[in-house]
């Protein structure tokens, strides 16, 4: 498993050097429903479904995952998802960002609650995946890579885990040397 983690770190280091935006001539390709290996082409329900190319090509392009920048699509009004399957459900939009910082050489993680609560109710993650108490969660890349914690969605329906810089997105402020701190007094 350490090898897998090291490999992912190497991929992410290369990915972090890139902007995360698709190259100017980036061409998106989606398999047709009949050839995606998920849908049964003989099913009569296939006539009811929209082809991915038709559905997704008008949305903001991404170079990773399913090739759509979903948060950008939400912000620019390209999509307007239902807030709940139950119309009576209260929508709880949380504006708080959480900053997680474990290792000195890796940029800190800024977890934007707003972007997540635009799509999901709090109960999707709390209390099963994450406790609602500060410091109560031991976030681990190993667990995430195994499909736990953030890995429940990222790598499945949200952008893939190879896009390290999308989460590790907050530069660390270098600590002042002790001497500089003392002279500042």
Write down the pTM of the prediction: 0.68
Higher-pLDDT residue of 119 and 45 is 45
Q: Where are the domains of the chain?
A: 65-172
Non-local (6+) Cβ contacts of 153 within 8 A are: none
Question: pLDDT tens across 71-97, in order?
Answer: 999 999 999 887 777 778 788 889 999
pLDDT per residue over 4-47, tens digit each?
444 444 445 444 444 455 444 567 888 999 998 989 999 999 99
Q: Which CATH class is domain 65-172?
A: alpha beta
How confident is the model at residue 175, as a pLDDT?
Answer: 54
Strand order in the sheet with 168-170: 97-100, 108-112, 168-170
Q: Which residues neighbour 31 within 8 Å (Cβ) at sequence distance 6 or greater? A: 37, 52
CB 139 within 8 A of CB 100: yes
């Amino acid at each position: 498993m350490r090898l897998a983690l090291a490999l992912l770190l190497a991929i992410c280091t290369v990915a972090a050097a890139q902007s995360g935006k698709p190259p100017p001539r980036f061409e998106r390709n989606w398999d047709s429903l009949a050839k995606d290996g998920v849908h049964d082409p003989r099913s009569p329900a296939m006539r009811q479904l929209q082809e991915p190319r038709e559905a997704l090509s008008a949305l903001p392009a991404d170079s990773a995952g399913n090739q759509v920048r979903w948060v950008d699509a939400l912000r620019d009004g390209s999509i307007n998802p239902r807030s709940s399957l139950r119309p009576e459900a209260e929508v709880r939009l949380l504006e708080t960002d959480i900053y997680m910082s474990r290792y000195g050489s890796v940029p800190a993680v800024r977890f934007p609650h707003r972007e997540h609560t635009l799509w999901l109710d709090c109960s999707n993650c709390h209390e099963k995946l994450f406790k609602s108490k500060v410091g109560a969660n031991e976030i681990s890349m190993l667990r995430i890579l195994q499909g736990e914690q953030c890995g429940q969605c990222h790598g499945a329906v949200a952008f893939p885990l190879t896009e390290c810089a999308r989460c590790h997105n907050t530069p660390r402020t270098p600590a002042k040397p002790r001497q500089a701190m003392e002279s500042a007094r």
